Amino acid sequence: MSILKPVVVALALFAGTGGAVFAASCSNSGGGYEAWKSEIASEAAAQGVGTKGIQALMATHYSKETIAADRNQKSFKYTIDKFMKVRGADTIIKQGRGQKAKNTKLFNALENQYGVPAGVLVAIHGMETAFGGYMGSTNIVSAISTLTYDCRRSDFFRPHMMAALILVDRGSITAQSTGAKHGEWGHTQFLPDNALKYGVDGDGNGRVDLNNRTDALASTANYLRKKGWKPGQGYQKGQPNYAVLKEWNAASVYQEAIAIMGARIDR
């Protein structure tokens, strides 16, 4: 089977009861988390989440490590030089060139399919998880549920929490699956709703598994293309595809770093 065979993984989240669905409350401390789970479970069920997803939600815990990480994202305020030094850009570029050389067939196929050059995908892979070396040890469902419960960005994370529960229903992840501290999953750290919408079965085995490198890289290329990537166009500052990097990460210093590293990997 083709390594680029897509699988439709998006699922619309909607209230199936026909009645009003009220958003659960939020809080900036963990004291009300257990009671909140019952509130949000009713909302999730109304939006189509099944038994396994609800059980996964009810098994979650308030993730203090997630809250600590969410309050401490200072690296995105660094200058580009400091950011690249802290993130180990020189190592990512050196190892990234090796990754590209060892996987020429895969990266050529991805560029032919989606128009995204290897350098960009390799730079993202290296930046996010050191090429799969560390994909996180935080419970995904607990992390994303905690961020939905927390008032700071509850509205942003609610669709991702619902998507995570649907991923559990489908068997894509389990209640025990781990990822990054904000609930990101896999080699390139997809948030759950993005995994549902843009996940691709890159290796042709009939399922989307973002812990699989081929699936993750194909999904990343698919995401960028769907967000407006123009094949054959540049991605440096001032070029057509630079703005698409913002769709991957909103931090300007991250976008600039990917553009710089991607170009150096592709030399």
pLDDT at 49: 97
Residue 180 structure tokens: 């990054």
- For every residue of 62-88, DSSP letters joined together read --HHHHHHHT--GGGGS-HHHHHHHTT
Of the candidates 158, 160, 210, the residue with the CA atom closest to the CA atom of residue 43: 158
pLDDT at 68: 94
Identify the weakest region by mean pLDDT among 67-81, 83-97, 186-200: 67-81
pLDDT at 72: 80
Of the pLDDT bands very low, low, confident and very high (cuts 50, 70, 90), residue 71 is confident
Of the candidates 181, 183, 188, the residue with the CA atom closest to the CA atom of residue 165: 183
Of the pLDDT bands very low, low, confident and very high (cuts 50, 70, 90), residue 27 is confident
- Which bin fits 202, alpha (ψ -120 to 50), beta or left (φ > 0)? alpha
180-223 pLDDT, tens digit per residue, is 999 999 999 999 999 999 999 999 999 999 999 999 999 999 99
Any idea which architecture 74-135+196-265 has in CATH?
Answer: Orthogonal Bundle (1.10)
Residue 25 structure tokens: 């409350």
- Residue 62 CA to residue 48 CA, distance in Å, equals 23
Is-contact 172 190, C-beta < 8 A? no
Q: How far apart are the first and last CA of the chain?
A: 31
pLDDT of residue 10 exceeding 80? no
11-20 pLDDT, tens digit per residue, is 333 334 344 4
Is-contact 191 182, C-beta < 8 A? yes
103-158 pLDDT, tens digit per residue, is 999 999 999 999 999 999 999 999 999 999 999 999 999 999 999 999 999 999 99
